Structure 1
């Protein structure tokens, strides 16, 4: 056989496990959704099945391990992307008050439970801290499916999860430092100091360097380059934190944090989302591969019992923390059940050799199984909590005290403006004047830089890219305004947009009746832009939609057409 033929045969053999793993992963995700399970649990079960069959051990366990590590890096990087300082300021009370209380109450309850079960103090504290965390992936999905993003329960749960993500980063640092010697308190204090130093350096680099670097990338108008830039920043940050004696995952988190403060977060998030989902799937498969099958076979009753005990302790501790912050009993109950499961971070932390050494292989396998089971039944458990809360409200009939917990808060950015040229700026000026929130997107780097320099709140992104619609949170908007519409693109994506965002009214700005009729025929609201400065006509239409009186709108338009009053509200404020 020729060398080339041998090479071809080798390549084909190496492709077999990749094809099998990808096929099984896709099937697992579809089946999990169909039966109402989180895909996370499905992937763990798949890994366990591969473990039992011996296929995963025979083919590609090292490959899966490598992909699993990258999956964790992408998870932490994505969390960092959502952890902007602006978000911290807006949700500071829940993140830095409610969040710590919830974690402290749950850690205390679970640590005491572990001590009662005969586990020594240090392993008990580690177990309690890990199990106090809840699943961002599972809870986030439930909140989105229930359309609770703007309700107090959803907002508070999200804030608590943000704090838990940061606590998980800290636990990762501590876990990675356990082999360095010293007491757990010394290790924790040293890890905290290192983390604070790394955080401060990241913020400084983000302000001084990252924005300019991505500005150069944006000028290339090549979105794929953002993926490479994001990978470079994440891996470089991981290397730097590794040199500091911290973890690669902390570096990935800090890399995401550095990008969260730039206008390019949305486009980077959309670029890495497919990679993150695929690689995280391999991580959860690797968890199943690593489980001790013999321990699971002999400990199934124990696992079920401990899962029930985990739910009881966390529900009680969550409700207690909620009552401290003067939540009603029904609201506390709903929140308590929603956050009662274990976290995907438990798998990350417990997979570390230092943690397995501290807790023990048998205990580690049992705890992983408990966390997986708790995540699997969370949708049903959360429904129970929601129904209990509803019955309490109906029975007590204290509507005035509880309406605030049931009524979604008004989104302060009901309008998305796509394009921040002259038209987009005029629309933004109108919304600022009448204190209406907006979210602005601009794909042209120079226009984006000028808009930001002039004080407009704008972010980099392509409003016509379907992959970015989730990042733009179109499901939360009332109106979208396309200042430079492309008929062919909009015609090709309108069916998908209508099905995904049925409550979003979409405006396009056109120049004549013929163009207006073309867009009307495919379901868009049209505004012919005739007056100067450009954008006045669409601004008038949107203000009317938002309930502003005709007299107030007319007064504003007169101010914009006066030569001496043509300065935007932002410029006036700056002056």
Structure 2
């Protein structure tokens, strides 16, 4: 009987079990998810309990986590923002790669006496940082839209672009020079594919998604989202670029789409678990036998590499105008080496360009830099906060770096029907930033055509709210006309965001009481306010003074809303209300 399927299932079960057991512990002690995943990988891997020995099999699946991560990054970077970052990408990013690679080359060639080819591969391989680690750390701290985030992303984007020519360089060193001298059509293919993909996304994507949404089947919509991400990744891989770059381009294509929040919400669960799997494989790569055997050398190389990379990034960040604290944070964040280093050294070792023992040593050093990065980031952040407090005590002006883009504080408006649209118009008139969510496609199209920032998405689902920036929102206004959706949304928001103000519409007095119990901050009854406005006109038309009208209406409103939960529970009748 073939037991390979059962063995694979056991591996999956153990990975899930480790996630469920270890991650809550690391969250409890405030070490974060990344270190939890790393610890789980070290425990389960071949150098721990040896529960999982075929790390490469797991790594192939884990690579999809990086793909989905790059897709989410692309969807959060609108083309206009990306164009604004071009100087950082090709200025700061290119300078970081070349200067770091040159410094590492000099150390490897002159300091350790390695060959020219080996030193070049080592220099560029270690100069690359981890896109997965950096973006995850940024997203945990809400720093993607800050200056630190923009500089870090610029460097990482340039490094992702550089992976393709670096792999071609390894092929050339291994004896594939004949291919490199052929006509350069194969170099033109990636450029043509990128242009074609962006054009197709601009002209075909929204009409296609409109047809899918019109079918009313959310499973089909999710399948299309996955097909889009993985299809773009495969096309770029086929054209010679990295799959992560293809996913990033797919995200850019959707950055201006009004379906972006729903698609991002559908992708997030896959990204989370697969990216966690990627971090586990990094933990599995830590060879404890080699580490104990050459502890001093490995630790020395790891610390020296992180200090060198951080120093170069810090100087470059200062040169482009960043302040000391932001430069220090950016340098620390980018101080590790990354997942593409695993790929580059693996290809170089298999092709004979890099000695196997050197490849194992470098792989261990990369894994250790990843392991130390979260600690380094936390340490630097605490240092900056201590410096801030000390200088404020001494009366010195010190600007604390921006961890969260507070300028993006906005209102999330759930539902964009008649009530939601009027609320949006008034907020716009008052200069209040907001994002609207609605599930009716025609309504979203009409609203966006009139300039309203409305997106397609089910606002009663937490993952959609998170994609709309609930972590950074100032409040949530619920204007949905479905009472069941309103109930679910209010309860979920209060559960995940205990301090978030929630202002919501309600069907009637009983619904008001239910929503208050579920955690609503303010409730407004649809039937009450209509009745009060009509009554106001009737009373004024019959000669009642405006002061007396206001007094009567305010008394009624006060009686209606005060102690509404207690009154409904005791079945009390308010002024003028019929008992049913």
**Same fold, TM exceeding 0.5?**
yes
The answer to whether residue 198 in structure 2 is matched with residue 203 in structure 1 is yes
The answer to whether residue 524 in structure 2 is matched with residue 527 in structure 1 is yes
The corresponding residue for 1:440 is 436
The corresponding residue for 1:168 is 159
| 1:452 Cα offset (Å) | 2.1
Equivalent residue runs for 1:294-443 within 5 Å:
295-352=290-347, 357-393=352-388, 402-403=398-399, 405=401, 410-443=406-439
The corresponding residue for 1:554 is none
Name which of 20, 43, 46 aligns with 1:50.
46
Equivalent residue runs for 1:255-266 within 5 Å:
255-266=250-261
1:10/1:143 Cα in 2 relative to 1: closer, same or farther (>3 Å)?
Answer: closer
Contact between 1:38 and 1:376, CA under 8 Å: does it hold in 2?
A: yes
RMSD: 4.0
Contact between 2:406 and 2:472, CA under 8 Å: does it hold in 1?
A: no
The corresponding residue for 1:458 is 454
Equivalent residue runs for 1:143-182 within 5 Å:
143=138, 147=141, 149=143, 155-177=146-168, 178-179=170-171, 181-182=176-177
Range with greater deviation from structure 2 (427-436 or 511-520): 511-520
SS at match of 2:253: helix
Contact between 2:108 and 2:114, CA under 8 Å: does it hold in 1?
A: yes
Contact between 1:349 and 1:355, CA under 8 Å: does it hold in 2?
A: no
Name which of 497, 503, 508 aligns with 1:507.
503
The corresponding residue for 1:541 is none
1:288/1:388 Cα in 2 relative to 1: closer, same or farther (>3 Å)?
Answer: closer
Equivalent residue runs for 1:534-573 within 5 Å:
none
Contact between 1:168 and 1:345, CA under 8 Å: does it hold in 2?
A: no
SS at match of 1:402: coil
Range with greater deviation from structure 2 (324-333 or 25-34): 25-34
The one-character-per-residue Cα deviations of 1:493-538 (angstroms, maximum 9, x if unpaired) are 64552353234211113465554444334332123558999xx9xx
1:362/1:40 Cα in 2 relative to 1: closer, same or farther (>3 Å)?
Answer: farther
1:411/1:486 Cα in 2 relative to 1: closer, same or farther (>3 Å)?
Answer: farther
> Structure 2: which 5+ residue stretches go unaligned?
534-580
The corresponding residue for 1:252 is 247
1:239/1:333 Cα in 2 relative to 1: closer, same or farther (>3 Å)?
Answer: closer
Contact between 1:393 and 1:399, CA under 8 Å: does it hold in 2?
A: no
The corresponding residue for 2:76 is 82
> Structure 1: which 5+ residue stretches go unaligned?
1-5, 537-575
Equivalent residue runs for 1:230-241 within 5 Å:
230-241=225-236
The answer to whether residue 472 in structure 2 is matched with residue 476 in structure 1 is yes
Distance 1:319 1:121 in 2: 28
Range with greater deviation from structure 2 (133-142 or 376-385): 133-142
The answer to whether residue 7 in structure 2 is matched with residue 38 in structure 1 is no
TM-score by length of 2: 0.76
Range with greater deviation from structure 2 (73-82 or 216-225): 73-82
Distance 2:188 2:349 in 1: 20
1:220/1:374 Cα in 2 relative to 1: closer, same or farther (>3 Å)?
Answer: same
The one-character-per-residue Cα deviations of 1:40-62 (angstroms, maximum 9, x if unpaired) are 42354246x336766534xx667
The one-character-per-residue Cα deviations of 1:95-136 (angstroms, maximum 9, x if unpaired) are 565544544554444444334333444443443334334444
Contact between 2:476 and 2:502, CA under 8 Å: does it hold in 1?
A: yes
CA radius of gyration, larger in: 2
Distance 1:420 1:499 in 2: 24
Contact between 2:148 and 2:330, CA under 8 Å: does it hold in 1?
A: yes
Contact between 2:164 and 2:242, CA under 8 Å: does it hold in 1?
A: yes
